[in-house]
Chains A and B, each alone.
Chain A
């Protein structure tokens, strides 16, 4: 079957750096997405990786290793507004998006 694993919850301190990991087993691979979702709101797109390596976008970076079925989202200079759930999703060979359950990130002052 198809599976995406992420930690359920993580806690970090304001101003620090946090890495949220995602491992996946899917039938084929056509890209990996990270979304941010604040409580009660819709997911918003953060990043897309289709090739191995690191993609940087301001305070957020996303890394992909296709051979290991692994990605991480790196958040730097954490702010209180970064408290949210972070969803990892993989597009399989049928171009269907497989969603992880999300990682709830709690930022403490």
Chain B
């Protein structure tokens, strides 16, 4: 099972602020993902990466960007936060053999 970490766990910020959500994994997984999930709702893929220097947009249109400079690190940046960005953000990485995704604990973001 993957060891995958996210910081911060909770964040409350004002509209217009720039924020970066951190995600790191220690299992050497090539593939990593960012999801957005509102309470009781389904997961929406916002970004993913196949490996270093690879980033792709997911199904959900989002005013966020990601980078993948190192295998273990996949940060998500919101250039200008809005109340509509209030949600839970989940990072995941997947093993090569079965593509099973393992999730970090999530960051709960509130934009005032």
Contacts and interface: CB of A to CB of B under 8 A. Distances in A.
Interface of A: 30-31, 33, 39-45, 48, 50, 85, 87, 91, 95, 97, 99-102, 104
Contacts, number: 42
B42 A97 contact: no
Interface of B: 1, 39-43, 45, 88, 90, 98-106, 108
Contact of B42 (A45, A95, A99): A99
A101 B42 contact: yes
Q: Which 3 residue pairs across A and B have the least CB separation, nearest first?
A: A42-B103, A101-B42, A99-B43
A92 B102 CA distance: 18
A42 B99 contact: no
Contacts of B99: 30-31, 91, 95, 97
A24 to B, nearest CB: 14
Given A31-B99, A48-B98, A48-B100, A102 B106 contact: no
28 contacts: A30-B99, A31-B98, A33-B101, A39-B39, A42-B103, A42-B104, A42-B106, A43-B43, A43-B90, A43-B103, A44-B103, A45-B1, A45-B101, A45-B102, A48-B98, A85-B40, A87-B42, A87-B43, A91-B99, A95-B99, A97-B45, A97-B99, A97-B101, A99-B43, A100-B42, A101-B42, A102-B42, A104-B40
Nearest to B59: A96
B41 A45 contact: no
A104 B105 CA distance: 20
Contacts of A45: 1, 100-102
B43 A41 contact: no
Nearest to A50: B98
A33 B43 contact: no
Contacts of B101: 33, 45, 97
B97 to A, nearest CB: 10
A48 B102 CA distance: 13
Contact of B105 (A41, A95, A97): A41
Nearest to B35: A99
